[in-house]
Chains A and B, each alone.
Chain A
Amino acid sequence: MKKKWAEKIGFALFSGAALLVLFFLGIIVGDIFSKGAGVISWQFLTQAPREGMTEGGIFPAILGTFLVSVITILFAVPLGMFAAIYLNEYALPGRTTRLIRLAIRNLSGVPSIVYGLFGVVLFVQMMQFGTSVLSAGLTLGLLTLPWTITASEEALKTVPKSYREGALALGATKWYAIRTNVLPYAIPGMLTGVILGLARAAGETAPILFTGAAFFLPHLPRSLFDQFMALPYHLYILATQHHDIAKVRPIAYGTALVLLGLILLLSASAIYFRYRYRQRMKG
């Protein structure tokens, strides 16, 4: 009898902990949705802010976040995938490989503001990209790199060894075997990790703060070397830096809702890719 009770209490504890997560997520999403849904309109999504950001929409911020994300993807995806291919397929176990892995693990724990400062030094100053879409995108790319590499490696690990061996036994070179018989089955899994990394990056404020995000711009970025507005930074300004915080609160919630929607969209596409990937592995 006693054992049964212990089991019941244990079950309640575990399920309680899991439900608590759901509860908090529900509250956050519910709160933002109820307060932000009112301001969402076609105008809000397609117009620039007006009257000291108390009127108008958030289109420049949406566009800025989109442009920066594109740079992040173009930079982090190939680099992350190549690094993962090297680590999983070519690197011999040894000191160098251990050191690389250690570096990756530590990079994922570096606070995002540190990435921001590093971005200023490397991209803004040394490489002379200035505070720009390019600098911010590359900084976010660095931030997502540990995620991209780790996820890509995991995806490569799920491809059975027999696919590699089978190809090699038919006279394929190692790279041919990887290219034709490993990557096609790993790429959807890699994309899943990339998208989740991107979803995190798109919501970051600190790394873009010094590298290119602007408080307010009267025009859209004209080139990669222009400054830009971004959703998370815009939200931060509306919530803490604006001269009339109470007045712009609905706009802040609307911005939060758009940002949240964007990230949920990214996560949903990650889930979709994972689903497709599993179907494909079944043949």
Chain B
Amino acid sequence: MSGHLMDGKTVKMSTRKLNFFYGKTLALKQISMEIPEKCVTALIGPSGCGKTTFLRCLNRMNDTIEGIRVEGEILLDDRNIYHPEVDPVQVRRRVGMVFQKSNPFPKTIFENVAYGLRISGGYSKAEIAMRVEASLKGAALWDEVSGRLQESAMSLSGGQQQRLCIARALAMSPEVLLMDEPTSAIDPVATARIEELVLQLKDRLTVVIVTHNMQQAARISDYTAFFFQGRIVEFGPTQKIFTNPSHPKTEEYITGRFG
């Protein structure tokens, strides 16, 4: 679909000279980057550097905040998602999101995963059940919850809740999955499970993940973008960023000298 190529890979999303304002504050400056399809792209950088803001631009979640302004373009399969004729609701069906703090709804496990399917409607009961099962399997949660789908999602552990949120996003068959520090509030064992899951997910979709954990970025991502003060300082294959960064700031950050 997309004409752009990057290391021989198809580009799924790209931004062109993206500026982002909160009121009068310029939070993202001239961001141009390409997100390769079916890869994991990590966004790293110190707090307040704009990586979460950038992530939330990719599915237009920032639209819900008052007083924001976007300049430039974000392309999804060569189509600008900020074009006035594009409905943000449609964008979000294609670009799913998992939040920093897991946010299961106070409904049953089943209804949580089925939530998105019920929005668009048109699925039979059997189809919904089938998709819920497939999504829970896709999020590596099925074995733990298959016998208690009608229980409240609030009864799950923190790590399970986050995987439930992943399953909920997967149910919509998104083409891109955005993850905003999905493991920051989760214990190491649960974190390992989610990392494993992310590696499996990239077989079928494109993942963009914000993380504060350098080891995590190194372990699971194919590409890494280093954000600093609203700009992209460096973007390239993770291997290169972590072993041979071109920019001194990148090296300082990944070796833990600041941030």
Contact = CB atoms under 8 A, between A and B. Distances in A.
A and B are partners in one complex rather than unrelated chains: yes
Interface of A: 92-93, 160, 162-173, 176, 180-181, 185, 280-283
Contacts of B155: 283
Nearest to B168: A170
B64 interface: yes
Interface string B86-111: 00011011001101010101100000
28 contacts: A92-B66, A162-B99, A162-B103, A163-B105, A164-B64, A165-B99, A166-B103, A167-B119, A168-B61, A169-B92, A169-B96, A169-B97, A169-B99, A170-B93, A170-B119, A170-B172, A171-B89, A171-B90, A171-B93, A171-B119, A171-B120, A171-B172, A172-B116, A180-B115, A181-B105, A185-B106, A280-B106, A282-B106
Interface in B154-169: 154-155, 165, 168-169
Contact of B119 (A92, A165, A172, A280): A172
Interface of B: 59, 61, 64, 66, 89-90, 92-93, 96-97, 99, 101, 103, 105-106, 115-116, 118-120, 152-155, 165, 168-169, 172
Contacts of B119: 167, 170-172, 176
Looking at A160, A165, A166, A168, which has the most chain B CB atoms within 10 Å of its CB? A166
Contacts of A185: 106
A283 B154 contact: yes
Given A93-B66, A165-B64, A283-B153, A170 B103 contact: no
User: Which 10 pairs, one residue from A and one from B, show the smallest C-beta to C-beta distance?
Assistant: A283-B154, A171-B93, A162-B103, A170-B116, A283-B106, A169-B97, A283-B152, A171-B92, A166-B103, A172-B119
A241 to B, nearest CB: 53
Given A280-B106, A283-B106, A283-B153, A170 B59 contact: no
A46 to B, nearest CB: 44
Contacts of B165: 166
A280 B107 CA distance: 9
B105 A166 contact: yes
Nearest to B117: A170
Contacts of A166: 99, 103, 105, 165, 168
Given A171-B90, A176-B119, A282 B97 contact: no
B168 A281 contact: no
A168 B66 contact: no
Contacts of B172: 170-171
A153 to B, nearest CB: 18
B178 to A, nearest CB: 8
A165 B89 contact: no
> Would you call the interface of chain A mostly helix, strand, loop, or mixed?
helix
B88 to A, nearest CB: 9
A109 B245 CA distance: 66
Given A93-B66, A283-B154, 9 more contacts: A162-B101, A169-B97, A169-B99, A169-B169, A170-B115, A170-B169, A170-B172, A171-B92, A282-B154
Nearest to B59: A169
A33 to B, nearest CB: 41
Contacts of B169: 169-170
Contacts of B96: 169-170
Contact of A165 (B61, B66, B93, B154): B61
Contact of A168 (B64, B152, B153, B154): B64
Nearest to B64: A168
Contact of B103 (A160, A171, A176): A160
A172 B152 contact: no
Contacts of A169: 59, 61, 92, 96-97, 99, 169
A165 B118 CA distance: 17
Contacts of A162: 99, 101, 103
A167 B172 CA distance: 12
A173 B116 CA distance: 11
A280 to B, nearest CB: 7
Looking at A92, A176, A185, A283, which has the most chain B CB atoms within 10 Å of its CB? A283
B56 to A, nearest CB: 10
Given A165-B61, A166-B165, A167-B115, A172 B106 contact: no
B245 to A, nearest CB: 33
Looking at A164, A172, A173, which has the most chain B CB atoms within 10 Å of its CB? A172
A283 B61 CA distance: 26
A173 B60 CA distance: 13
B96 to A, nearest CB: 7
Nearest to A164: B64
Nearest to A185: B106
